[in-house]
Structure 1
Amino acid sequence: MPLRHDVSRLLFRGRKKATEDVFQDLLSEANRDLASLLKDVRAVQEDARLGDTRRWPINELLMRAVRCAAKQYVLQAELGNLALRDELTGLYNRRGFMAIAERQLKVGRRSGRGMLLFFVDVDTLKQINDSFGHCEGDRALKRTARALEMTFRDSDVIARLGGDEFAVLAIEASDHSEATIRTRLCEDLRSISAGESRYSISISLGAARFDSRSKASLADLIVQADRAMYKQKRHSSAPGNASGMEYQS
């Protein structure tokens, strides 16, 4: 039976179970299949030692071995992806961001490559949740995620850290990239939410530059970008100042 059918069957069997638990069940089932196969292989080896191989069709054992290997590979890949991805947006989660971004910083230190780390906060998420419900708030988060994917390159590391907070590590960002990225993000946010007029979304964005000669850690860069984001948030909320990252959705 194809693996996707196994997934559907287990999901139907336990709809209230967490996705991680479903995959763990599938992995346990795959392990049982593998254990059964290994038991039969040992029996074949024993029969061969005794000179009797008639009751063991080798082709069938080979096909079972291929199916077991394929199932194990797919499930391990899915579980690994599940552990690093945000379920709502499909972006990396905090764990995924820290793992991938840390690896990129190590490469940057060796190659002398510059980067920018952006910290993004959806300012109006609470108001959207309170006025239109959490389902609409989730849609606003998904729109923000899609806009970030449109703004940044495939090689950049984009994540939802949790709640209304996102982070992006922009690889090989130039000295002039920050202003350009801010402008493009505003345009992409506006474009992806065209047609929705019930509320406006405002985001605050802060950035920290990675210098390959610096000893600053990934955690240090996140703190710097977070502080820059809150500085922009305070400036935008001051009387007479308009947010430079607001759009009507």
Structure 2
Amino acid sequence: MTRISTAALLALGLATSAHAFDITDMTESERSAFRAEVRAYLMDNPEVLMEAIGVLEERQAKQQAASDETLVQTNANALFEDGYSWVGGNLDGDITMVEFVDYKCGYCRKAHDEVAKLVNTDGNIKFILKEFPILGQESVLSSRFAIATKQLAGDDTYKKVHDKLITFRGTINDDNLRRLAESFDLDADAVMAQMAAPEVDTVLAENRALAQRMNISGTPTFVLGPKMLRGYVPLDGMRQIVAGVRAE
């Protein structure tokens, strides 16, 4: 039986050279020896496997980032100029950040104060909120209430309601939403009626369609300049990303 040494295996380059290595050209005994040699080498040198996994993950991350940047470019108008989402921060900022948010999402709640601190301390970020309720009926009711408030009472009241909903600890139902409306001196009957209006349906449908086009299935998801952040990122990490975007 022919035994293929590790040195020979490395010399062959595992199909990376001009003369590609083809295991199908081996006899059965040679294949058995080859497999045994590979296994023995990896058992003796497990760090090689971890190194290979690291290279693969890095390559996949770069491919995902490139794909995400293409998605941002393709959907730029819907992301940054939809005409119905709340816009805050510095409206003339050099970077625009978009957040897809669900009021019942624990990580959205965790990110809320940190995002506010990022926007306020940086001073040069335009911030857009996208209502994206995906965690059940309470999420949907919360978003409908927030959107209805914006449509009836404007951006300032919407932001106050948004900040209250993202920290609200009780059950989201009609009674509690009505009390919440009254706490902001809103016409509760009008807001509750507007929640079922076609204009609210349109906002939610447009946001869902945009998320689908951009392969967004979780919250929070951020678009930060040309980049996408799929999930919660601590404040220091977001600051580093902002600095990186500005440096490009």
Same structural fold, with TM-score higher than 0.5 when normalized by the shorter chain = no
Higher RCO (C-alpha under 8 Å, 6+ residues apart): 2
Q: Which of 1 and 2 has greater Rg? A: 2
